Structure 1
Amino acid sequence: MSIIQSIQDCHHQLKSVSKHINQVHYDEHQLLVIAHPLCKAAISLQGAHLLYWQPTNEDIPVVWLSEKALFKKGKAIRGGMPVCWPWFGNTLTPAHGFARTTDWHLKNVAETEEGVELVLSLRENDTTLQVWPHKFDLEMKFQLGKTCKAELMCRGDFSATSALHTYYGVSDIDSIRVDGLGDNYVEKLSTVNLPKVTGEMTFNQEVDRIYTHPASVNHIIDRHRKIKINHFSHSDVVVWNPWADKSKAMNDLEDNSYQHFVCVETCRIHHPIMLTEQQFAHYGVEISIEK
Structure 2
Amino acid sequence: MKRKFIRHIDTGISLYQYNDIPVIEAEHAVGSAKITLQGAHLLSWKPAGAQHDVLWLSEIEPFKAGSAIRGGIPVCFPWFNNAGTPAHGYARISLWELTSHQIAPDSFQLTFTLIHEKQTVATLTMTFSADCQLVFTNLTGQEAQIALHSYFKVGDIHRTELLNLPNSAFNSLTQRQENVPVPRIIRENVDCIYSAEAGATIIADKAYQRHIEIEHQNAGDIVVWNPWHKTTGNMSESGYQTMICVETARIRRPIHQESVGVIIRVK
> TM over 0.5, yes or no?
yes
Matches within 5 A, 1:176-191: 176-190=160-174
**CA shift in 2, pair 1:239/1:90, >3 Å:** same
Q: 1:39 — aligned with what?
A: 31
Give the distance between the partners of 1:119 and 1:156, measured in 2 at CA: 17
| Alpha-carbon shift at residue 250 of structure 1 (Å) | 3.0
% identity of equivalent residues: 34
**Matched length:** 264
| Alpha-carbon shift at residue 18 of structure 1 (Å) | 1.1
**Does 1:72 find its partner at 2:54?**
no
| Alpha-carbon shift at residue 136 of structure 1 (Å) | 4.5
Give the distance between the partners of 1:191 and 1:60, measured in 2 at CA: 36
Q: What is the identity, as a one-letter code, of the residue corresponding to 1:273?
A: I
Select the structure that is richer in strand. 2
Q: Is the 8 A contact 1:183 1:213 kept in 2?
A: no
Give the distance between the partners of 1:189 and 1:175, measured in 2 at CA: 24
Q: Is the 8 A contact 1:163 1:268 kept in 2?
A: yes
Give the distance between the partners of 2:214 and 2:195, measured in 1 at CA: 16
Matches within 5 A, 1:141-220: 141-190=125-174, 195-197=180-182, 200-220=183-203
Moved beyond 2 Å, runs of 4+:
190-197
| Alpha-carbon shift at residue 179 of structure 1 (Å) | 1.5
**CA shift in 2, pair 1:121/1:55, >3 Å:** same
- Alignment partner of 1:63 out of 55, 60, 67: 55
SS in 2 for 1:58: coil
Q: What is the identity, as a one-letter code, of the residue corresponding to 2:51?
A: D
| Alpha-carbon shift at residue 212 of structure 1 (Å) | 2.2
**Does 1:87 find its partner at 2:64?**
no
C-alpha distance after superposition, 1:132-184 (max 9, x if no partner): xxx54310000123211101012222100110000001111111111222133
| Alpha-carbon shift at residue 123 of structure 1 (Å) | 1.9
SS in 2 for 1:270: strand
Q: CA RMSD in A?
A: 1.9
Give the distance between the partners of 1:174 and 1:141, measured in 2 at CA: 34
| Alpha-carbon shift at residue 274 of structure 1 (Å) | 1.9
- Alignment partner of 2:238 out of 256, 264, 275: 256
- Alignment partner of 1:13 out of 5, 9, 20: 5
Q: Is the 8 A contact 2:196 2:219 kept in 1?
A: no
SS in 1 for 2:193: strand
Unpaired stretches in structure 1, ≥5 consecutive residues: 127-134, 276-280
How does the TM-score come out when normalised to structure 2? Answer: 0.93
**CA shift in 2, pair 1:91/1:137, >3 Å:** closer
Q: Is the 8 A contact 2:145 2:254 kept in 1?
A: yes
Q: 1:266 — aligned with what?
A: 248
Give the distance between the partners of 2:17 and 2:238, measured in 1 at CA: 29
Give the distance between the partners of 1:70 and 1:260, measured in 2 at CA: 19
Give the distance between the partners of 2:217 and 2:105, measured in 1 at CA: 25
Q: Is the 8 A contact 1:237 1:264 kept in 2?
A: yes
Moved more, 249-258 or 153-162: 249-258
Q: 1:111 — aligned with what?
A: 103
SS in 2 for 1:66: coil
Q: 2:20 — aligned with what?
A: 28
SS in 2 for 1:41: strand
Give the distance between the partners of 1:144 and 1:255, measured in 2 at CA: 32
